[in-house]
């Protein structure tokens, strides 16, 4: 079992990433984060049977929470990625290294691109995941990037924290 499977568990108990009204924009298909070397395709993610967000099957691929906002539309667009796998670092292995002002580029299926700028990077204990700050409605387009972080508990089979990047659309 990949070490990164616990991303699902890290956000369970969240009082619901509920379905948001999807915008009319094309879905995201690719993400680039030049400052940390991310250049990856994006797959669609829904909800797992236990009500948590699915995670990408491929540790090299990012995943967009398709029940939320499309990147570039009003509201929070959420993209998840694994920190690592049993074979080594994964797509978001260096996510914690992002700094305020770094750029995140999201390409959409219609060929358009949305540029975001990192506002902050924070680490939250699994049991105090900031559901409202991540999934809560916003009038402007925002992006949330999520991966596991902190200490890996072998006893629990998961990481004990999540790294969350908060970014706003660059104009």
Q: CA torsion sign, 34 to 55 to 28 to 87?
A: positive
d(Cα 159, Cα 10) in Å, to the nearest integer? 7
Q: How confident is the model at residue 118 (pLDDT cuts 50, 70, 90)?
A: very high
What is the tens place of the pLDDT at every residue in 15-47? 344 444 444 799 999 999 999 999 999 999 999
> What's the pTM value of the predicted model, to 2 decimals?
0.86
CB 106 within 8 A of CB 40: no
Q: Which of 121, 126, 59 is nearest to 96 (CA)?
A: 121
Output the pLDDT for position 18.
44
Fold of the domain built from segment(s) 7-16+29-169? Sortase; Chain: A; (2.40.260)
One DSSP character per residue, 13-50 reads T-S--PPPPP-SSPPEEEEEEGGGTEEEEEEEE-B-TT
Q: How confident is the model at residue 4 (pLDDT cuts 50, 70, 90)?
A: very low
Q: Which residue has the tokens 């996510």?
A: 95
Distance (Å) of CA 163 to CA 11, 73, 82, 146: 11, 23, 11, 6
Question: Mean per-residue pLDDT for 123-147?
Answer: 95
d(Cα 68, Cα 45) in Å, to the nearest integer? 10
What percentage of the chain reaches a pLDDT higher than 90?
A: 80
By CB atoms closer than 10 A (0-12, 13-18, 19+), residue 106 is: buried
Question: Mean per-residue pLDDT for 144-148?
Answer: 97
């Amino acid at each position: 079992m990949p070490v990164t499977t616990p991303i699902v568990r890290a956000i369970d108990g969240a009082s619901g990433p509920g379905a948001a009204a999807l915008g009319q924009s094309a879905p995201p298909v690719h993400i680039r984060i030049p400052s940390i070397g991310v250049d990856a395709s994006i797959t669609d993610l829904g909800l797992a049977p236990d009500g948590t967000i699915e995670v990408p099957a491929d540790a090299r691929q990012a995943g967009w929470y398709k029940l939320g906002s499309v990147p570039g539309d009003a509201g929070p667009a959420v993209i998840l990625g694994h920190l690592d796998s049993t074979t080594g670092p994964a797509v978001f292995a260096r996510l914690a290294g992002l700094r305020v002002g770094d750029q995140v580029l999201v390409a959409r299926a219609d060929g358009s691109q949305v540029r975001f700028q990192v506002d902050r990077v924070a680490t939250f204990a699994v049991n105090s995941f900031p559901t409202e700050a991540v999934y809560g409605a916003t009038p402007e387009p925002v992006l949330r990037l999520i991966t596991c972080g902190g200490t890996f508990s072998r006893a629990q089979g998961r990481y004990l924290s999540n790294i969350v990047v908060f970014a706003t659309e660059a104009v």
